[in-house]
Structure 1
């Protein structure tokens, strides 16, 4: 079968589409004929900076049709349409993944949408509500709001009755973000984020920040209200993280890290993704 691989980290040109051995379907696995893949931020970071392991196939999110099931699998059958998350191997014609890392795709939901939903919306939901404890009437600042997790967070926070401040680079997505539920859009290339937040919150700061960038943590902390919460999820900025936490301690703020990889098999995350696929 064909799959996307790379031998050395670097620019997109290092990717190759080559013949690789067929995946082995274990007793707890299902074999998916891949019809849509989701290119995630982690794929880009890995390709740019992480030497590949032997037999490494790019990608960790996709959707397709089940063509075989392992001997212990009872929850999936051949012909099921599924979305899946696993640590590697999705950017290929076929993909063997543990059945517990898949979600059934309901009628009316396309493969492309289903491939992208678990990571973007599952991550955003977990950060906003499980860790961030966002409540109706609160104000949330979303860094990198035009990215996958950011776009999902804007929609979910707006639907929950929060005031949403979205941070983007440039103005080209301002209208789209407002359509999706952002109350205010801040262009970080022109606007001072903290000053804008103070203006929109009448000087108090936001109750919650969702930060998938990492290098923006000092700004995110400065935008928080006293006793506010900051959830950082990843390091898309790609640099080391150095943050002065003394002001956060003085303001009784809470800083939480989220790494979603091991969480997708937990009941709460699985259930939230199922519910969003059905919505």
Structure 2
């Protein structure tokens, strides 16, 4: 089969190489899946660079989530059959940017019928992150104000839709007019173009000076620092990631004086500590997709040969929504 592999760490476009490798075989408790669509995530770039919290042995295949079709079932696996359409995290070092992949059966979920392969591939990590972050960690309530950074990106776009589904007023921060239009189309009530507007001032004006109840921050750096200037009394700043490349150092004295919370989210830990909650979340996301309340924004479907370029563009921050690799 064909599979992209990283033989030496570096920038995705240079580090990824399309190789011909033997077809993998499922072991006990595993499934062999045909990759129907693989979503591109910022962690794929971090994996290529060797900067992710997980560092698989070289060479490895990046691609951390995908929609697939069951081809073969390993010993001891029940509840799955050939032909089933599913979504799952990948099992590194055998990632999703390949024609076939083997994954543990325990983490496999049915693909929502309301979504096509590319949309389903983009649902799992981004929307689970958004749902656990907004509901389990930040306790977003109906009628509250949610500020979403990178609102036109893959993670941010999911938070915008989930915030609207929860009955919040959503203020989206983006970089540029094209991304501003995308955020509006996603349902954001107010959109701020950070290249020419001050989101702190906009949030204060929109909330009568009270500030945002919840801040969803996958960016870090200056986005986090300035968010502390417009977070409400008893507000929650949700730390999701650091796509800016800068990890901020919170001023805990400021959190004390203004009475807000800084809340971290590492969604992957739920797979270990509370897998039943992951499945309950998937059921809720499937329901919301069926009702049309959420739908992953897939801006591009690229062939397998274009995977390295797609990962590089996501790393460079030049994309909107989701890029999805479709092996064909």
In 2, Cα distance between equivalents of 1:124 and 1:189: 25
2:62 to 58, 63, 67: 58
Q: Is the 8 A contact 1:45 1:236 kept in 2?
A: no
Q: 172, 195, 198: which is aligned to 1:192? A: 198
TM-score of the superposition, structure 1-length normalised? 0.94
Please state if 1:16 is matched with 2:17.
yes
Which residue is 1:122 aligned to? 128
User: Take 1:191 and 1:210, find their aligned partners in 2: how far apart are those partners?
Assistant: 19
CA contact (8 A) 2:112 2:120 kept: no
Aligned positions, number:
279
Question: For 1:131 and 1:67, how far apart are their aligned partners in 2?
Answer: 37
Once residues 203 and 108 of structure 1 are traced to their aligned partners in structure 2, the CA distance between those partners, rounded to angstroms, is 40
Q: SS in structure 2 opposite 1:222?
A: coil
How far is the alpha carbon of 1:175 from its aligned partner?
2.7
* 1:63 to 1:229, Cα distance in 2 relative to 1, 3 A: same
RMSD value, Cα: 1.7
Distance 1:52 1:203, change over 3 A: same
Residue number among 59, 63, 68 corresponding to 2:72 in the alignment: 68
Q: Contact 1:10–1:49 (CA<8 Å) still a contact in 2?
A: no
Pick from 64, 89, 96 the counterpart of residue 90 of structure 1: 96
TM-score (norm 2): 0.80
Structure 1's unaligned 5+ residue stretches are: none
Q: State the Cα deviation string for residues 26-52 of structure 1 (Å, max 9, x = none).
A: 211111011111001111232245476
Cα gap change, 1:157 to 1:86, in 2 (>3 Å):
same
Larger relative contact order (CA 8 Å, sep ≥ 6) = 2
- 263, 266, 283: which one aligns with 1:259: 266
Q: Bigger CA drift: 52-61 or 260-269? A: 260-269
Which ranges of 4 or more aligned residues in structure 1 deviate by more than 6 Å? none
Structure 2: runs of 5 or more not aligned? 291-328
